[in-house]
Structure 1
Amino acid sequence: MTRGLFPVGGPVAKEDLVGREDFIVSLVNRLLEGQSVMLAGPRRIGKTSLAHEVLRRLKEKGAYTTAVDFFRFSGKRDFAVSLIDACLENRTGINKTLNILRDRAKALAGGAKFAIKLRDLEISFGFPEKKSDDELLDYALRLPGILAGRDDKLMVVMFDEFQDAPRVTDAEIFKRMRAHFQVQKGAAYLFLGSKEGMMQTLFSGRKEAFYRFAAMLPIPGIAEDDWVPYITQKFASRNILVDDNVVKEIVHLSGGHPQDTMFLCSEVYYTLLETGDNTLTHHHVRLGYNRAVLALAPIFDEVLDDLSARSQVRRVLHQLALGKNVYQEGIHPNKVKRAIDHLINRAVIKKTARGSYVFVEPMFQRYILQHFQ
Structure 2
Amino acid sequence: MMTTKARGHLWRIAALSKIAVICIATAILLSAPRPANAGEIPRFAVEPSWPKPLPNNWILGQVGGITVDWQGHVWLIHRPRSLTDDERGAVLSPPRSKCCVPAPPVLEFDADGNLLRAWGGPGEGYEWVGREHGIEVDERGFVWIGGNADNDNAILKFTLDGQFVMQIGKIAPSKGSNDTTQLGKPAETAIDKDAGEIYVADGYGNHRVIVFDATSGAYKRHWGAYGNPPNDDKQPPYDPKAPVSQQFANPVHCVKIAHDGLVYVCDRINNRIQAFRKDGTFVKEWFYEKNTLGNGAVWDLAIWPDPKQSYLLSADGENNEIRIINRADGTIVGSFGRGGRNAGQFHWVHAMAVDAKGNVYTAEVDNGKRIQKFRLTSDALR
- TM-score, scaled relative to structure 1: 0.23
The structure, 1 or 2, with the larger RCO (C-alpha pairs under 8 Å, 6+ apart) is 1
Decide which structure has greater strand share.
2
* TM value normalised by structure 2: 0.23
Larger fraction in helix: 1
Larger radius of gyration: 2
